[in-house]
Amino acid sequence: MLKLMVSPGPNAKAEVVPWPAVTYAYCLRLHLDPSMIVIHMPEGPDAQKEMAAFLRSLANEAGLLALVLDPRPENLPGQREA
């Protein structure tokens, strides 16, 4: 198990990028300014489904944390700016 604690800098971003030298393989690259983390699909017959399930969970948890950190009404689901 790898435990890693990093904080995003002002230019942090996330992006989907192709995995080098593999056709139709993608990964999630997190530029944390200045650190970088790349999350790639696990190996195995259900790799795509496992990665998709992980990314859905990650997106859900990240969205909840974002609402806790910045709970302004315009950030709530279903709210539109006037």
Rounded Cα–Cα distance for residues 31 and 82 (Å): 33
pTM: 0.75
Percent of the chain clearing pLDDT 90 (strictly above):
55
Query: Does the CA dihedral 73-68-11-27 come out positive or negative?
Result: negative
CB 51 within 8 A of CB 38: no
**pLDDT per position as a tens digit, 26-43:** 899 999 999 999 998 888
Structure tokens at 44: 């195995």
What is the Cα 28 distance to its own chain's centre? 6
Instruction: Report whether pLDDT(57) > 70.
Output: yes
- Average pLDDT over the chain reads 88
Rounded Cα–Cα distance for residues 11 and 61 (Å): 22
